[in-house]
């Protein structure tokens, strides 16, 4: 494959992404829009792979396209067909024109800034620092090293954001109605697929230390296994109930924080792991983060307060 072929591939991918985005945004049918958005996410994963970002490609395909697509489709199913919100009315033309010109202006400014920064990129890049310190991080995949060691603070807060979003969804109302019992073909397919997804999630978690993968991708795959188990007619989607479910959703943040605080006892600062233990501690944090992420993503898909969550306390209120 020559260099020109590769550039041609990039141009084709870009054109596909552009057309898919326009079609997803302006399709008449909302259902078609959502399905086009899922396709858009999968093609984006190819673009990440072309830009040498395989970790991001995995996360985009599983979370950005898969989980987000499942959430949007479930939200569409919740709607009554004659819902008032679905009726389309046009905006007055002066509003459309003003917004269009403003967005075009913003896009041109951003393009100029991007090209300017791109051509005058001198000075140290933080990526070089990551590469030179990689041997001290306990893992050999630079993205995992940044996520769980160099910038572990960001990841801890990100898990907190996920928990906060989960609490918001739990507070907002009853669980979605469970799907009907699926036919034998789907049930058997799921019985075959779910264990495969769980094993793959375990592999991704383990391999994240030295190759593309890690807690987020593994957690998303586990959540996907839960979603298809639910779609095959098991309302609880394989989740434990009551106090165990609460512990699992809190474990990601909790263990992360505990390791961070424990590292302070030796005189180091928050989340500054001892160098000999870094690899083990990162794996420990990632195992619990995976379980937490999977349970949280699955719970936000179920929506509201599912039975599994409520069964831990008195059911008299229900």
Partner 1 sequence: MLETSTLYGLLGIVLASLGLHAAILQRDTLRRILAINILGVGVFLVFIATAYNGPTTVPDAVPHALVLTGIVVAVAATALALALLRRLEATRETDDDQ
- Which is nearest to 202 in space by CA: 279, 137, 138, 294? 294
Minimum Å gap between C-beta 59 and partner 1 is: 5
CB closer to partner 1, 173 vs 274: 173
DSSP-assigned beta bridge partners for residue 174: 305
Minimum Å gap between C-beta 64 and partner 1 is: 5
Determine which helix (DSSP H) or strand (DSSP E) holds 269, and give its type and residue range.
none
Minimum Å gap between C-beta 293 and partner 1 is: 7
Per the CB < 8 A criterion, the answer to whether 259 and 265 are in contact is no
User: Which residues are within 8 A (CB) of 157 and not within 5 positions of it... i.e. 6 or more apart?
Assistant: none
Minimum Å gap between C-beta 185 and partner 1 is: 29
CB closer to partner 1, 173 vs 195: 173
Minimum Å gap between C-beta 21 and partner 1 is: 5
Minimum Å gap between C-beta 281 and partner 1 is: 18
Terminal Cα distance for the chain, rounded: 63
CB closer to partner 1, 155 vs 236: 155
Minimum Å gap between C-beta 34 and partner 1 is: 7
DSSP string for 161-224: HHHHHHHHHHHT-BPPPPPPPPPHHHHHHHHHHHHHHHHHHHHHHHHTTTSS--HHHHHHHHHH
Per the CB < 8 A criterion, the answer to whether 20 and 39 are in contact is yes
CB closer to partner 1, 84 vs 180: 84
CB closer to partner 1, 67 vs 282: 67
User: Which residues are within 8 A (CB) of 291 and not within 5 positions of it... i.e. 6 or more apart?
Assistant: 219, 222, 248, 251, 252
CB closer to partner 1, 126 vs 185: 126
CB closer to partner 1, 137 vs 236: 137
Q: Which CA distances in Å does 212 have to 148, 216, 282, 312?
A: 14, 11, 15, 38
């Amino acid at each position: 494959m020559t260099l020109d072929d590769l550039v041609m591939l990039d141009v084709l991918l870009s054109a596909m992404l552009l057309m898919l985005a326009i079609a997803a945004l302006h399709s008449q049918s909302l259902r078609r829009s959502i399905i086009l958005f899922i396709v858009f996410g999968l093609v984006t994963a190819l673009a990440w792979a072309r830009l040498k970002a395989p970790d991001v490609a995995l996360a985009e395909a599983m979370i950005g396209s898969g989980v987000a697509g499942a959430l949007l489709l479930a939200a569409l199913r919740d709607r009554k067909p004659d819902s008032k919100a679905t009726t389309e009315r046009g905006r007055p033309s002066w509003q459309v024109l003003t917004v269009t010109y403003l967005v075009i202006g913003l896009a041109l400014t951003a393009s100029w800034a991007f090209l300017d920064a791109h051509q005058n990129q001198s000075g140290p890049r933080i990526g070089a620092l990551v590469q030179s310190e990689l041997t001290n991080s306990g893992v050999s995949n630079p993205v995992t090293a940044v996520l769980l060691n160099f910038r572990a603070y960001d990841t801890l807060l990100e898990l907190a954001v996920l928990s906060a979003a989960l609490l918001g969804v739990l507070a907002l109302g009853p669980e979605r109605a469970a799907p009907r019992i699926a036919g034998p073909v789907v049930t058997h397919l799921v019985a075959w697929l779910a264990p495969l997804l769980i094993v793959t999630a375990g592999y991704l978690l383990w391999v994240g230390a030295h190759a593309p993968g890690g807690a987020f991708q593994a957690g998303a795959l586990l959540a996907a296994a839960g979603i298809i188990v639910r779609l095959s007619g098991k309302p609880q989607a394989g989740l434990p109930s009551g106090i165990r479910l609460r512990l699992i959703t809190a474990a990601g943040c909790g263990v992360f924080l505990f390791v961070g605080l424990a590292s302070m006892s030796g005189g180091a600062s928050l989340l500054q792991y001892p160098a000999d233990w870094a690899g083990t501690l990162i794996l420990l944090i990632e195992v619990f983060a995976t379980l937490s992420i999977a349970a949280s993503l699955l719970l936000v898909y179920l929506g509201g307060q599912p039975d599994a969550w409520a069964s831990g306390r008195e059911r008299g209120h229900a």
